[in-house]
Amino acid sequence: MDDAWEELQAAGVPDGAPRPAPRGPLDAARLRRAFATATSGPPLPERRRETLHAWLAAFRHHWPARFSAVLGDDGDRALARLAATPGDPNRYLKLRRIALENLAHLL
């Protein structure tokens, strides 16, 4: 799971200490595997749920075709599950902005 989470962080999930923006191109197959691994096990801790929610929302909103091509229905289902248990709206907005910036360097 930690390896999968590190892959997600490399793909722009804004978790942990501030770091330089990731550089592309995005490896869709690696991302798909990491996402499947991270979301198929036990429930994620709250912090990871918040960061993944913000990243998925930014990805789907700004690059919907690429989101569908890379994560497909699994991404939509995960986003719906994560959105059903929202956290702090201000933290979400901050994380989504960071996720958007990170994704812009990769996609």
| 63-102 confidence digits (pLDDT tens) | 999 999 999 999 999 999 999 987 899 999 999 999 999 9
Cβ pair 54, 100 in contact under 8 A? no
- State pTM to two decimals: 0.93
Token pair 């550089």 in the structure block, residue:
23
- How far apart are the C-alpha atoms of 91 and 95, rounded to whole Å? 6
Encoding tokens for residue 10?
Answer: 């490399």
Instruction: Read off the pLDDT of residues 92-103 as tens digits, 9 standing for 90 and up.
Output: 999 999 999 999
**Which position has the higher pLDDT, 45 or 24?**
45
